[in-house]
Amino acid sequence: MYRIIAAVLAAASLAEAAGAQTAPSPGLPAASAASQTAPIFTLDSALAAGGMSPSPSAANISSTTRPLGGPSAAPTSLPSVAAATAGVDAATAARRVAGLRPNPELQSQVENIAGSGVYKGLRSSETTVGVALPLELGGKRPARVALATARLTRAQIQAEIARADLRLRIIQLYIEAAAAERRADVLAEQASIAANAFRASRERVTAGDVGPIEQQRADVLRINAQVAAESAARQAQAARTNLATLLNAPVTGPLDQAWFDRVDGYGPPRPIEVEGTLTLAAAEADVRTADAQVRVAKSLRVPDLTVSTFARRLQATGDTAAVVGISIPIPLFNNGSAFVAQSRSEQTVAVAQRNLAVIDTRQAIASAQAEVANAAATARAAGGPGLAAAQEAARIARIGWAQGKFDQIALLDAERTLSQTRQTYVDALAAYHDAQARLDRLTTPAPLVSGDNR
C-alpha cells in the first residue's frame, strides 16, 4: 500500500510540473503579478524612447523632408548619433564659409623718412594709404561651394546612417532581452521539473521501489538545473539593463513576447535594388565629393589678381597723387598640377570603393535573406511539430516513470530533449528577428537631399 501511495504522489508531482510547462504557450517569461498587470514594453516603445520612429519608412520620410543645411534631428544620448548630428552642423557652417568672398585689405606705408639731408625726419616723407581687393578667377568660389555642398550631403547621409545603426542596435538589444527572458523561463521550468523529480525519487526510495542512487542522481540534476536557472535569470536582467542603458530610460513591464513568437511569412528571396540604399548613397556622395575636389584643384591653377588703389601724399610739396596697382602670382614652383593629380587619384579611389560597395551590399543582402529564411524555417519546425513531439514524449516518459514502466534514464533523456528543443526554438526566433533587423538595415532607403549651389 505504501508503494502505491508513493507512485501516486510521484505521478501527481510530475503532472503538476508538466502542466506548468505546457501552459499557456511555449516559454512565456515568468513574471510577478505586478508585472503581469503592467503595460507591455513593446519594441515600438523602445524605439520611441531612443528617438526612433516605429517604422523605417516613417523615419526616412521625415529625413527626406528636412532641407539641406536645416535643423538636425532631436539629440540623442548615443555618442555616434550626436557626433553625426554635429557633423551636419559643421558641414552647414563650412558651406556658408565656402560661399564668402575674400576680404579686401587696408594698406598703409610711409616712405622717405629718417634719412639724411633732405630726407631727415619727415620733411620729404610720402604717405600712401589704399585698399587692395583680391579677385578670384577660374571659378574658384563656385567650385568651393560645390565641394562644401557635396560634403554637407555626405554628412547628412552619415547622420542617417548613424540613426539607422542606432535603430538596429535598439532592436538587437530588445531581441537579446526578450530571448534571455524566454531562456530564463525555460530553465526555470526545467529547474521546477527537476525539483519535482527529486521529490518523487525520494518518495520512491522511501517506498523501496528504487535504490538510493536514483535519488542521488535526481538531486544532482536538481542542483545543476537550479544553478542554470539562476544564471539565466541574471543574464535576462543584464540584457534588460543593457537596453535601458542604451535608451537612457527605464524598461518597465514585461517585454512583448507575442512579437517575439511571431514569424512572418517568408517566400523566395525578392530582388532588391541596392542603388537606393544608405550604403550606396554614402558611396555615391563620396564620389561626388571627389569630383568636386577635382574641380577645385583645377580652379586653383588659375592665378588670382589683386587690384589695389592708393592715395599718396608728398610731404615736401603738400601734393596728393593716386596710385593704382595690380599683382599676379607667378606659378613657378607650384602650378597646381600635383594637386590635380592627387585629386584625380582620390576620385579613382572613390569610384572603385563605390563599385565595391555595390558588390558587398548585394552579397550582404543575399546572406541576410538566406539567414532570415533559414531561421524562420528552424523556428517553425522547432516551435511546431518538433516542440509538440518533444512535449508529448516528455509527458509519456513522466507517466511511465511514475508508474514504474520507464527507468529514470528514459525520463531524463525525454526532459533533456524537451529543454533542448525549447531552447532551439528560442535561439531560432532570436536569429530570425536579428537577421530580419539586419536585412531591414541593409535595405534602408537613403533620404532625398537637395543642394543649393548659389
Which single residue is written with the C-alpha cell 513522466? Answer: 398
Q: 68 is written with which cell numbers?
A: 539641406
The chain-wide mean pLDDT, for the chain, equals: 80
For 110, the enclosing helix (H) or strand (E) is strand 105-111
Which single residue is written with the C-alpha cell 533533456? Answer: 416
Burial string for 160-184 (b: 16+ CB within 10 Å, else e) reads: bbbbbbbbbbbbbbbbbbbbbbbbb
| Range with lowest mean pLDDT among 58-62, 128-132, 190-194, 227-231 | 58-62
For residues 342-368, give the mean pLDDT: 94
**In sequence order, what are the residues at sequence separation of 6 or more whose Cβ sits closer than 8 angstroms to the Cβ of residue 131?**
104, 105, 106, 107, 308, 309, 310
Which single residue is written with the C-alpha cell 587692395? Answer: 132
Give the pLDDT of residue 438: 93
**In sequence order, what are the residues at sequence separation of 6 or more whose Cβ sits closer than 8 angstroms to the Cβ of residue 61?**
none
For strands 105-111 and 126-135, give the pairing: antiparallel
What CA–CA distances, in Å, run from 150 to 43, 155, 282? 36, 9, 11
Amino acid at 181: E
Give the pLDDT of residue 195: 83
Q: 63 is written with which cell numbers?
A: 529625413
pLDDT grade for 359, boundaries at 50, 70 and 90: very high
For residue 255, give the 3-state DSSP assignment: strand
Q: Residue 57 and residue 66: Cα distance in Å, rounded? A: 15
Give the pLDDT of residue 17: 44
Give the pLDDT of residue 255: 92
Q: Count of residues for the chain?
A: 454
Share of the chain above pLDDT 70, in %: 81
9-28 pLDDT tens trace: 344 444 444 444 443 344 33
For residue 133, give the 3-state DSSP assignment: strand
Give the pLDDT of residue 279: 92
3-state class percentages of the chain: helix first, strand second, coil last, to nearest 5? 65, 10, 25
Q: Which of 15-19, 271-275, 364-368 reaches the highest mean pLDDT?
A: 364-368
The alpha carbon of residue 361 and the mean position of all alpha carbons in its chain are separated, in whole angstroms, by 16
pLDDT grade for 67, boundaries at 50, 70 and 90: very low
Give the pLDDT of residue 119: 73
Which single residue is written with the C-alpha cell 532588391? Answer: 272
Give the pLDDT of residue 378: 87
Q: Residue 218 and residue 204: Cα distance in Å, rounded? A: 12
What CATH superfamily classification does 2-101+136-301+336-442 receive?
Outer membrane efflux proteins (OEP) (1.20.1600.10)
Q: Residue 107 and residue 436: Cα distance in Å, rounded? A: 67
Domains of the chain, residue spans: 2-101+136-301+336-442
Give the pLDDT of residue 27: 39
Q: Between 173 and 388, whose confidence is greater?
A: 173
pTM: 0.77
169-202 pLDDT tens trace: 999 999 999 999 999 988 888 888 788 777 877 7
Q: Residue 408 and residue 39: Cα distance in Å, rounded? A: 43
Give the pLDDT of residue 408: 65
Give the pLDDT of residue 81: 86
